[in-house]
């Protein structure tokens, strides 16, 4: 897969999950409905990103959440109910240590969270009708 498409994919398919009481960043690869003895379990296969770079987080006053993509080395099935929010992971190459490495920083997608996925919608105020405008 071309690196550009791979990077765009990271922008579109990442999420924050609650794993063992800790918020983690993961790329969702696919969803599956697992059936065991008549009980269905919705699962997602995810590839976990590394832990956040603690020094960058501290120096940036907790604003730059930067981590590395681990690919197939960090695959895990998780319950879809552990997904907390959809996020974007934007590529960047900070000069950290002796050599720069490809990393990703987190961008939360505003107004798109589990509440929306659960069907809870916020009522938006009416927008003015463009036919009511007057040309001057």
pLDDT in tens, 21-65: 988 999 999 999 989 899 999 999 999 999 988 888 888 888 888
Q: What is the mean pLDDT of the chain?
A: 77
Least confident range of 17-31, 59-73, 86-100: 86-100
CB 24 within 8 A of CB 83: no
* Pairing relationship of beta strands 66-67 and 75-79 according to DSSP bridges: unpaired
The model carries a pTM of: 0.66
Please give the average per-residue pLDDT across 6-15, as a whole number: 61
Closest CA to 44 of 22, 76, 7: 76
Percent with pLDDT over 70 in the chain? 69
Q: What is the DSSP letter of 88?
A: E
């Amino acid at each position: 897969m071309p690196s550009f498409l791979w990077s765009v994919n990271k922008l579109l398919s990442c999420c924050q999950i609650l794993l063992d009481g800790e918020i983690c960043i993961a790329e969702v690869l696919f969803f599956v409905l697992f059936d065991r003895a008549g009980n269905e379990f919705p699962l997602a296969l995810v590839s976990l990103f590394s832990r956040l770079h603690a020094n960058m987080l501290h120096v940036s006053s907790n604003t730059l959440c930067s981590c590395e993509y681990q690919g197939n080395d960090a695959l895990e099935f998780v319950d879809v109910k552990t997904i907390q929010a959809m996020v974007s992971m934007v590529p960047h190459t900070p000069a950290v240590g002796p050599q720069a490495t490809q990393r990703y920083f987190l961008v939360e997608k505003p107004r798109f969270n589990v509440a929306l996925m659960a069907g809870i919608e916020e009522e938006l105020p009416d927008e003015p009708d463009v036919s009511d405008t007057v040309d001057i």
